[in-house]
Structure 1
Amino acid sequence: MNSTTISVPSTPLVPTLVHGNSAADISQARQAARVFTDRLTPAPGSDMADTLVLVVSELVTNALRHGGGQYTLQLAAGPGAVTAAVSDPNPEHPRERTPDLGGGSGGFGWHMIRRLTHHLTITPGPGYGKTIHAQLPR
């Protein structure tokens, strides 16, 4: 059962909230990120919007794959930055691993997220889990 919920703000400073628990929900998170950036005033450049969509995709994929099979994504914007915050029920922090160049088992996501974001923090909660806050300059 797909439990995706998307709330797109009528004003850009109101956060967007997305919940997901399946691989099909990754595209919903990407779509929400694209709609969010499209509604910002002033509009960010296409490079920043594309980067946010990529970061969101990697964060929610990692939450599904390594964080307990579900996520909550919150997108917010301020005058100087856009933030994607992804929460999952696993309290363990992401760990870097050597990317698999031949077998297709991944290892690229956390490296990309760290390189593409301006500021990255991990906080405990909600509950037993964690939230990863990825910030990109506007």
Structure 2
Amino acid sequence: MVRGGSTESVHRAREAARGFACGLVPAPGSDTVDTLVLVVSELATNALRHGGGRYALELSATRDALTAAISDPSPVPPRERAPDLNGGSGGFGWHMVRRLTADLTVAPGPGA
């Protein structure tokens, strides 16, 4: 588990995701590993920015799937918004995560 509350923790989350995936036997292909790292980076960053400033990451795997579970203290679920094509204020991450994942679940945590 990786716990984060700073932008440096997003780097640690990416490293943890890459190390976890590369340590699996058999290891997934490099495209799959890169996708996992990107998804983890986006989710951790979103949790920091919009989810209360901290998060916890748990990684798991089955024969058929890699799972990255990110939890944060916010009771408000993530929402899609139109990407800002001119001002650079974001809006791309959630769309990217939806496109890159086979299954995306949002569930309220305990206390939400």
User: Does the TM-score normalized on the shorter chain lie above 0.5?
Assistant: yes
Residues in 2 aligned to 1:126 and 1:83: alpha-carbon distance in whole angstroms = 20
1:81 equivalent to 2:77? Answer: no
Q: 1:38-49 counterparts in 2 under 5 A?
A: 38-49=22-33
SS at match of 2:104: strand
Structure 1 partner of 2:109: 125
Deviation above 3 Å: which 4+ runs of structure 1?
Answer: none
Greater strand percent: which structure? 1
Identity %: 66
Provide structure 2 residue ranges, at least 5 long, that are not aligned to the other structure.
none
Q: 1:1-138 counterparts in 2 under 5 A?
A: 17-128=1-112
Task: Give, as a single letter, the amino acid of the residue that structure 1 aligns with 2:28.
Answer: P
Deviations 1:11-50 (A, max 9, x none): xxxxxx1000011111000000010011011110000000
Task: Give, as a single letter, the amino acid of the residue that structure 2 aligns with 1:83.
Answer: T
Residues in 1 aligned to 2:111 and 2:25: alpha-carbon distance in whole angstroms = 34
SS at match of 1:44: coil
Residues in 2 aligned to 1:36 and 1:79: alpha-carbon distance in whole angstroms = 14
Task: Give, as a single letter, the amino acid of the residue that structure 1 aligns with 2:89.
Answer: S
Residue 94 of structure 1, CA deviation: 1.1
CA contact (8 A) 2:51 2:74 kept: yes
Scaled by the length of structure 2, what TM-score is found? Answer: 0.97
Residue 126 of structure 1, CA deviation: 3.3
Residues in 2 aligned to 1:82 and 1:97: alpha-carbon distance in whole angstroms = 26
Residues in 1 aligned to 2:8 and 2:19: alpha-carbon distance in whole angstroms = 18
Residue 116 of structure 1, CA deviation: 0.3
Provide structure 1 residue ranges, at least 5 long, that are not aligned to the other structure.
1-16, 129-138
